[in-house]
Amino acid sequence: MPAKSGLIGLFVRHPTAANLLMVVMIVAGLFALRQTNTQFFPDFGIDWVSVEVEWPGASAEDIDDNIVQAIEPEVRFLDGVKRVRSISVEGLAKISVEFLPGTDMQAALADVETAVGQVNTLPEDSENPEIRRIVRYDTINRIVISGPYPEASLKAIAKRIRDELLDRGIDKVDMSGARDEEIWVEVAPERLLELDLKLADIAEKIRGTSQDLPSGDLSGSVKKTIRSIGLEKNAAGVGRIEVRSLKNGEKVFLKDIAKVRERFDEDQPTLERTGHRAIELHVQRALAADALEVADRVEAYLKELQPTLPPNLNVETFDVKSELIRGRIALLLENGFTGLVLVILILFLFLSVPVAFWVAIGIPVAIMATLAVMLVSGQSINMVSLFGMIMALGIVVDDAIVVGEHADKHFRAGLGPEEAAELGATRMAAPVFSSSLTTIAAFTPLFIISDVIGDIIRGIPLVVVAMIVASLVECFLALPGHLRGAFAMVGTEVGRFRARFNEIFDRFRDNQFERTIRRAVEWRYTTIAIAVAALIVSIGLIAGGRINFTFFPAPEADRMFASVQMNAGAPRHETTRMVREMKRAMKAAEHDLTGGKGGLVRFSLEKYGVSVAREDVPVSFADNLGGMVVELVESDQRTVRTAEFIEAWRARVRPIPGIDIFTITPAQGGPPGRDVDVRLKGRNLDDLKKAAIEVRGLLQRYAGVTDANDDLQYGKREAIIAVTPQGRGLGFSTESVGRQVRNAFEGAIAKRFPRGDEEVTVRVRYSRDGANIRSLEGFRLRGSDGAEVPLAEVVSIREKQGFSRITREDGKREVAVTSETDKAVTNNNKVLAALTRDGLFEIAQKYGLKAGFAGRAEEQKTTLGDMKTGVMIGLVGIYIILAWVFASYARPLVVMSIIPLGFVGAVVGHLLLGFDLTVLSLIALVGLSGIVVNDSIILVRTIDERIATGEQVFEAIINGARDRLRAVILTSATTIGGLTPLLFETSLQARFMIPMAVTIIFGLMVTTFLVLLVAPSIIAIQTDIGRGFEKLRAGWNRRDAVAE
């Protein structure tokens, strides 16, 4: 009997230490529960800095040539830069500099600012670069304000709501559909000719007159500041600006020659809801804020706001994340609670009542301690971390089961309560710590998975490792003290149920199981051959396509985005016609699918002048773009699936003449990126477009592939003007002609000034009813002498078909060809394989381009590569731990031989239940390797102990397997029981997590059976090999003796 010393002995003998430790762990967990943020997924995203440069009136190619190519080389090679992407559209360059994870973003922002500041070749008329670090925010909801009100009134209400939300501590509220305010000064060309003025002269007059200037200080007995005030902040004030004083003393004011009025920027997008103008507020939280707390604040504010609004003003919400978070977390908690109940029932079935009770108490204690670790490490309560807890429910009780069962065995053998509790803990310390270390070694490599998937799943290994450590603390310090008290109270008598159960179990163990294990060991080579054959068949099922692999199966979407792109140059009213046709088709689809009852579409919003797509797709602005955002009722509350609704909607749309692209894509959870994303890179835009069209043709041939599109779209036809020698002789230059033409068609920017919280633009332009400025042919230039000259006499004009958008990555022009896949028909990997087979790279080679895959394929490649590295590290770590535990190089191979067999169970489970293998399945498989090793450790250690006592090897193997049958079944059953409720979950929102449960449950079911047959058979084979070497050695020794 061990001496009563050490930390375990102290906690066993101390009257309050065990309870105090348990209370501390519970209190820490309850505190963490109140402080830890709650959200749907863990925070994930990309660290990047954005550079935007405006150049009004410039084409996408001009932007790419003169701005992007000037800035990109300066920022590409900064420290920590991962990639640089740029988008050139009409009038705007957007350059995104992505940095490696862990980069100091403040320093990165300063580096980008310095690099851009060194560029001195930007066009003279371009705006100053806007450089900002993109801070990640998470959506709370979207609020839409609509009604029969003027745009100015609706905007004022929306701004009031935005400001009041910000006052209540909401981190960020973005407003869309509220166009910027402008003051238009519209002048007839004839009036300018009469006064010998140009648009630029009017703009300069406004710029020089309408301003406030500090004019110094006036010293004296009282010091005064002098200010010159002349800034006009409304249309009436601008109209009173004097533009010319005639010789007769008469003054000509701007309002006398021009129409001056308050307007909104006509190029910006507009929104509609139920036929009325609408404004959308995107409510967001900082990553440090709790999603549910912020959502509650928003909801409370809207309830207070509603009675103060006019009855015909609609304030509605959609994309409400809090409902999703609450529903999904409640779903997992319900499954977790059911799993906990099953685990406890299993404990009471196999263990004595006092042992089962205190082992079960250790589960919530470990969970509370884990919550404290999550708070300290910056984790949040989300679907992934909760799944990690559910997964660990059965794992964490394994330690306590071994300690409790061993202590109970000694107590019933006659030791006192204190001695039995202490001996059970001290004797089991080494095997329990080693098995815990192997589980930690299996899960720890998941930390090295990088990019977005790594951010998403990192909570699983962190939670599992934290729960294992907490379980070790509880089962070696708190549990022995509790067992001492329990043993003292209950005595050694065994209840009737317990005695009956033990009798039945012992009969099974001593008869059916012993015969099976004897037969398996006798036919050990056949046993191993069957196990290897099962592994080969499982691999064949994957390789043969009987079980598909889907990288990350997102939950069924409730929102979708219908987008339309008309032919380049189409006016906005044509886009409006098409969007309204899409709305009609949507209602028709809803009517037909519900039998006229409706209630399928919860919300819809129409958008004009802007692209409509998922959040991970860059937004574009143009009159030929538009679309709808549609939200269905929650997936679990409807019988019509999202894919079915999209198909019905698409079938009922009647395209109008001039439509170019029409797509409907569902919202996407999890990592960003399109299902299929092919990237073509090269120099020549025409070659890129031709290749993209051919690749789109390939995609459209495949069943289950929809919405094939590319992002190199034709833009408006460009009129290229060049000053002729005759024009230069008349005193015109490229700059003077370009300015007059731009002022005529775009308007001259006279002034920008702040009014309230907005910047108002004063724009001077020709009257829209002037016939001579509707086309270049009728336009006349003003020379330096005031004479007008037809444009055609000064310049040559040629037309060219340009592109509306040009993308670069790391300095190379590229085009993305994307599509969606119907998972019921095909999957991403099959489509990518078909593209490779059917000539994708040959198409690229034909046009002198390079081709590759991006989007989810790129994420998949990175993740699987990281997982391979992680698996190798984990296996090496497990081997080192086992080699230390067994003091042998060969025995760890016996224990680890069971690891591949977990794959057999995972494949069988996915095949039987009809699930695809996913990256989450693979992650669960990595964790499973640590779990299955634990059973093997205990079994092999028991067999070795029997062999060490001199027992015949064959009998030691049989008896060791018999001895550990109960422990092996119990430890596996608790883990299976904890996850079983999730296996039967019917919610569509939880289906993406079920493959993880399938992998562990079926993997454990198979390995629990095989570990009791395969591991003993391998030990027997090792013995055969050892005896064979001994015979060879003996034969060599005899031969050497004869030779001597």
pLDDT of 37-92, one tens digit each?
887 777 766 788 999 998 877 888 889 999 999 999 999 989 989 889 999 988 88
Please check the confidence at residue 199 and state whether its pLDDT lies above 60.
Answer: yes
Please check the confidence at residue 194 and state whether its pLDDT lies above 70.
Answer: yes
Mean pLDDT: which of 211-220, 450-459, 542-551, 808-817 is highest? Answer: 808-817
pLDDT of residue 681: 92
> What's the rounded mean pLDDT across residues 323-346?
80
Please state, in angstroms and rounded to a whole number, the distance separating the CA atoms of residues 824 and 821.
9
Tokens of 974: 């608790």
Please check the confidence at residue 213 and state whether its pLDDT lies above 60.
Answer: no
Please check the confidence at residue 384 and state whether its pLDDT lies above 70.
Answer: yes
Q: What does the DSSP 8-state code read for residue 38?
A: B
- How open is the CA angle 489-495-496, to the nearest 5 degrees? 165
pLDDT of 298-332, one tens digit each?
999 999 999 998 889 999 999 888 887 787 777 77
702's CB contacts (< 8 A; 6+ apart) are: 826, 831, 834
pLDDT of 812-836, one tens digit each?
999 999 888 877 788 788 888 889 9
Among the residue ranges 164-173, 715-724, 914-923, the one predicted with the least confidence is 715-724
pLDDT of residue 776: 67
Residue 637 main-chain phi, psi, to 5 deg: -110, 15
Please check the confidence at residue 1 and state whether its pLDDT lies above 50.
Answer: no
> What's the rounded mean pLDDT across residues 419-445?
83
Calculated CA dihedral for residues 862, 867, 873, 878, nearest 10 degrees: 170
Band the pLDDT of 210: cuts 50, 70, 90.
low
pLDDT of 272-305, one tens digit each?
999 999 999 999 988 888 888 899 999 999 999 9
Please check the confidence at residue 434 and state whether its pLDDT lies above 90.
Answer: no
Calculated CA dihedral for residues 1015, 1019, 1021, 1023, nearest 10 degrees: 180
pLDDT of residue 1040: 64
By percentage, how much of the chain surpasses pLDDT 70?
Answer: 94
**Residues 227, 212 contacting (CB under 8 angstroms):** yes
Please check the confidence at residue 936 and state whether its pLDDT lies above 90.
Answer: no
Mean pLDDT: which of 242-251, 595-604, 673-682 is highest? Answer: 595-604
> What's the rounded mean pLDDT across residues 917-930?
83
Band the pLDDT of 165: cuts 50, 70, 90.
very high
Give the rounded distance of the alpha carbon of 752 from its chain centre. 39
Stronger pLDDT, 142 or 870, i.e. the higher one: 142
Taking phi first (over 0 means left), then psi (-120 to 50 degrees means alpha), and beta for anything else, what does residue 491 get?
Answer: left
> What's the rounded mean pLDDT across residues 19-28?
90
pLDDT of residue 788: 77
- Which parts of 724-811 are beta strand (E)? 748-755, 758-766, 780-782, 788-790, 795-803, 805-809
Please state, in angstroms and rounded to a whole number, the distance separating the CA atoms of residues 977 and 600.
37
Stronger pLDDT, 437 or 209, i.e. the higher one: 437
- Mean pLDDT of all residues belonging to the chain: 84
Give the rounded distance of the alpha carbon of 431 from its chain centre. 40
pLDDT of 218-239, one tens digit each?
455 555 444 444 567 788 888 8
Please check the confidence at residue 15 and state whether its pLDDT lies above 70.
Answer: yes
pLDDT of residue 733: 81
pLDDT of residue 301: 93
pLDDT of 783-807, one tens digit each?
777 677 887 788 887 777 778 888 9
**Residues 628, 560 contacting (CB under 8 angstroms):** no
pLDDT of residue 1044: 59
Band the pLDDT of 104: cuts 50, 70, 90.
confident
Band the pLDDT of 472: cuts 50, 70, 90.
confident
**Residues 355, 498 contacting (CB under 8 angstroms):** no
pLDDT of 894-905, one tens digit each?
788 888 888 898
Stronger pLDDT, 615 or 149, i.e. the higher one: 149
**Beta-bridge mates of residue 93:** 53, 88
Please state, in angstroms and rounded to a whole number, the distance separating the CA atoms of residues 189 and 170.
50
pLDDT of 657-673, one tens digit each?
988 889 898 887 666 67
Stronger pLDDT, 99 or 46, i.e. the higher one: 99
pLDDT of residue 5: 52
- Return the half-sphere exposure (C-beta side, CA atoms, 13 A cut-off) of residue 41: 22
> What's the rounded mean pLDDT across residues 694-713?
86
Q: How many residues does the chain have?
A: 1044
pLDDT of 989-1017, one tens digit each?
777 778 888 998 898 888 888 788 888 88
Calculated CA dihedral for residues 521, 526, 530, 535, nearest 10 degrees: 90
Please check the confidence at residue 215 and state whether its pLDDT lies above 60.
Answer: no
Please check the confidence at residue 866 and state whether its pLDDT lies above 90.
Answer: no
By percentage, how much of the chain surpasses pLDDT 90?
Answer: 19
Domains in the chain with CATH codes: 6-35+325-551+860-1031 (1.20.1640.10), 46-135 (3.30.70.1430), 181-264+717-803 (3.30.2090.10), 674-713+807-854 (3.30.70.1320)
Among the residue ranges 203-217, 267-281, 429-443, the one predicted with the least confidence is 203-217
DSSP-assigned states of every residue in 707-736: EEEES--EEEEEEEEEE-HHHHHTT--HHH
Q: What does the DSSP 8-state code read for residue 761?
A: E
**Residues 924, 995 contacting (CB under 8 angstroms):** yes
